[in-house]
Chains A and B, each alone.
Chain A
Amino acid sequence: MSKSAGTPGDITRRQMLRRIGMTALIAGPGAGLLTACATGGTTPAAPASAAPSASGAVSAANPFGVAADAPLEVVIFKGGLGDSYATEVHEPLYKKAFPQAQVKHVATQKIAQTLQPRFIGGDVPDMIANSGTDLMDNGALQQEGQLLELTELWDAPSIDDPSKKVRDMVAPGTVESGLIDGKPYLMNYVFSAYGLWYDSALFEKNGWTPPKTFDEFKAFAEKAKAAGVTPFAYAGKNAAYYAYWMILISAAKIEGNQILIDVDNLVDGVWQRDSMKQSAAAWAEIAKYMDKSFEDKEHTQVQLQQNQGKVALYPSGSWLENEQKAQTPETFKYALTPTPSVTAADKMPFEAIRAAAGEAYIVPAKGKNPKGGLEYLRIMLSKEGARGFTEKSGNITVVTGAADGLELTPGNASLSAAQTAAGQNIVTFSNFENWYKEFETELRRQTNALLFGRISADEFCEKVQKAADKTKADSSITKQNRTV
């Protein structure tokens, strides 16, 4: 979820240089590296914890009591969403509310590498867009007491209608998606829908319609293949999670959202339930139409192939259109179709889509101006803030109705139509991706093994279950739980 806006694992030149540097350090006997940023316990516990100093008078306009002249430091992950939404919309809005406050803007593609040393040293910023491939582990931050609980934010009066709370102005499930240990710590801001993306112009030209069942999917795959188009493809090298999302969505369509809750809660045997096996088997059948060579392709390479009309259906989230803006040819019209139904007895109809809040924004507990951080989030959650975000980043936010009246791109228009068609049939989020990174890594491995034909659906379910059991038994990993 929260990695959505970045291109997964794309290695930039800067990252590369950094990694080479890192290689030199780890090389040979690698023990030395890890302490490069360690302190060996000599640094005094974060001085900022001594009491967030700055505070001002609490008023209707200033519910958290932000000190009007306290400086605010904002760190933004500059990935697929860019950072102009912060510099041109949210930060000016904050400045307007507190003209005396200095707002410092930091944009980075490497959140963890930039901020980890600062957390250890106790010099933390006031608001962080914690995203990208190298985001910080939110679970670990929370366990170390570094995250500010956001209950106060969700219960604060909304900027647009002070008679309502902020939590009432956002899409259902937004607050829940940011829970750690049962309490809200993450403000998931971007509303994303997940499914299969295609070029509606290409489909129209060929007289194709997106398949509604897996039988239709297979028939479609034959037709597409005959036309020289790969019916379905994903990038094995760095985007295996795009594919396991599809497996999870199908399983949830068969059994209902409870299976996603059970997956997150590491319930015994959840990966070996019939619904999961059916889903894995169904996707493995479709993956047979995909060439083996897609396993060493990167996200961007497969997307390029789709833009060139060589790939019909690509599994991804709603940020795709914006991410591809520069490469998409004029004639290409993005459209979203839900994942096909697996069985006739599926609990959720074909129209059901996975839609969830993603892109976590956090306020560090030990920053210098945490109240300012909260207020900044409240500004982001105002209609004006959300609308500006959509204009600058091309993505829809969790703030309901904020994008009304904006002219939508083909992809966003299709998304909005899909949402209307889905109605209440929403496949919900998964939290294990943030909670249990090791398990997630293993799931990626096994997803590639399944979809590139090295293991069967049964073996896949067995191996993933084993990894889930291992996570559950590992006392060094703090277990999380969710009920909704």
Chain B
Amino acid sequence: MNMPPSGLPALPRKLYARRPDIFPRAIDGFFRRLKWVVMAVTLAIYYVTPWLRWNRGAYAPDQAVLVDLAHRRFYFFSIEIWPHEFYYVAGLLVMAGIGLFLVTSTVGRAWCGYACPQTVWTDLFLHVERAIDGDRNAQLRLKKAPWTASKIGRRVLKHGSWLFIGLVTGGAWVFYFADAPTLAHDLVTGEAAHVAYATIAILTATTYIFGGFMREQVCLYMCPWPRIQGAMLDERSLIVTYKDWRGEPRSHGVKRSDESGDCIDCQACVQVCPVGIDIRNGAQFACITCALCIDACDQMMDKVGRPRGLIDYATLEDCKAEAAGAAPVPVTRTLFRPRTLAYFAVWSAVGLAMVFALGARARLDLTTAHDRNPLWVQLSGGDVRNAYTVKIRNMESRPRTLRLAIEGLEQGVMWDSLSDATAAGRMMTVSVAPDQVEAHRIYVRAPGRGPATEDFHFIIAAADGSSDSARDEARFDRPEMQP
């Protein structure tokens, strides 16, 4: 099949274009093996992670990575994130964004070519297709073949396998949100929540459609990243390049002459491309730089006895120099330059700040909210009473006994709504359950004569021997008109 340039449909013009069928040929080589490794590692991480266990004691789940939406906790190995600490997730997103800039400006669209889920699952689907239908030529033949029992059997097997992969993919996702062994049992016995089945159904459908049918169309039409990446690349970024000064003019083996370039026009680079482009047309937005065309071309160059690297990872700057006759530049040079170092500095600064904040964060906290309606209450004895809601957060996975006290506000005493004013004092003991926020309604009484507003602090300190403590500012209000 002769692919039109850039994978675009040929004239005559139609308003709406069918997706051209792409049957990438299997290939082996350095970059293909790298792709295998990345695929194995990323898929393993995705499928295995929810099954890892992590002992947190009796009061917390033992799943290593768990997004517990019902209780609003996020567990990541030894780190436990509370909702008010969600800025760690924001920090990770910032790091992911800058990391993408760093990688792109250094080695081009390595994310797209190797690590993007769309690429990984499309690749997986392609391998399944090849295992059932055979390689490119067999697939082309099978497409034209009549609907015999054998073809129907192969089609059923292929789509069944794809749907199975989709099901397993969607199924793995829900395990991140609940205890995996329990949920697996519930899913099989039909006792799991509706939302779990709905999530699996949706992800099965999207995996099947995106991996089996949409494939490169997701990158071309739906993904914003190819449109942005142009801003990340410069003339010193590594990209997959066809060295036209070496390859042109192209020739088939029989017609070669002294003027012929190295390119033998064998179409191998086009046939292996999963996006269906011809890299010899130059750098283009559809190229995900998976580098399979490099493997294909290198194989051909070996066969015809020409040096490798007609299609190669190179920077535009080096390409220009090489075309002018300079020696090839080692690719490592592109890694260290002001732009990449600046990205790396920002990226690692965010990372270090997060690690530092993670190490220094408190696992005991309190917040106070002053009753506003009424702001103060005149008591019959002449004192004034204010009410506060004090929320105590015990972010550790063990029950804790704490001392709540007021600091400042001389002559002020407090009691909580479950006891009465006879229990009033400057300090009280509270027990907080593991991993819980507990709200106490606290009354504070102080003499009616004094400033209209007076600042003081609520403090909590551990009564269990540790030095943990926290404090929060509060305000005591009095009537402005004083008798």
- B is bound to A: no
**Chain B interface residues toward A at CB < 8 A:** none
* A interface residue numbers (CB < 8 A to B): none
